[in-house]
Amino acid sequence: MKHLLLLMAVLLAHQSITLAQSAKDLFSIGFAKYNAKDYRGALEDYNKSIKLDAKSAVVFYNRGVVKARLEDYQGAIEDYTKALKLDTKDVASYNNRGVSKAVLGNFKSAIDDYNKALTLNPKSIEAYYSRAYAKDQLKDAPGAIADYTKVIQLEPSYAEAYNGRGVAKFKNGDKKGACADWKKAGELGFAGAFQNIKARCK
């Protein structure tokens, strides 16, 4: 009897290891498909991986990324939320959930997520940039300018941040500052900045 119980325990342990490996393998396959831009294929593999092991924040996060790529933003939000339940300190999940909320027009809730991301990582360029955009959409030009400025302090060659700050400055009545930022954005390679200069810096 003891021998039988021991054998069953070994078999169950082996089965558990096999399942864990299968979930990991499916995630790896899905990740490779994602990198190859096969987003639907990646989603299928992530779904299978989660069916075998629903305790991986990394898999939920990556499935959220895929859903966002497929423009299923509500589904992405739900997956980022699941990832955060498993890992409450995942900066990327907070930031990406905020981005998906912003795409759906929920800018205030998006800012809440960016704030949480920045509490965990005060040097998150992505969170500052995303929060700046959300503030601009909520007509908080001074707040947007402050966040774009922080992005530029952390990454001086971030052309899009100069362009965004230029837009916010223009809305805030600082035409000279806006044109200077657009000029810098253009010098750094952001072609759209020259359109702003042509239209607004006469």
- Whether the predicted pLDDT of 95 surpasses 80: yes
**In which band, very low, low, confident or very high, does the pLDDT at 10 lie, cut at 50, 70 and 90?**
very low
Q: How many domains would you assign to the chain?
A: 1
Q: What residue numbers bound the domain in which 193 lies?
A: 138-202
For 23-55, how does the pLDDT look when each residue is reduced to its tens digit (9 = 90+)? 999 999 999 999 999 999 999 999 999 999 999
Report if residue 189 sits inside a domain. Answer: yes
Rounded to an integer, the average pLDDT of 124-145 is 99
The full DSSP string for 68-111 is: HHTT-HHHHHHHHHHHHHH-TT-HHHHHHHHHHHHHTT-HHHHH
The domain that contains 156 carries what CATH number? 1.25.40.10
Report if residue 130 sits inside a domain. Answer: no
Separation CA 157–CA 177 (nearest Å): 18
Mean pLDDT of the chain: 92
Specify the pTM. 0.86
- Whether the predicted pLDDT of 201 surpasses 70: yes
Q: What angle do CA 157, 194, 127 make, to 5 degrees?
A: 40
Structure tokens of 150?
């922080």
Report if residue 14 sits inside a domain. Answer: no
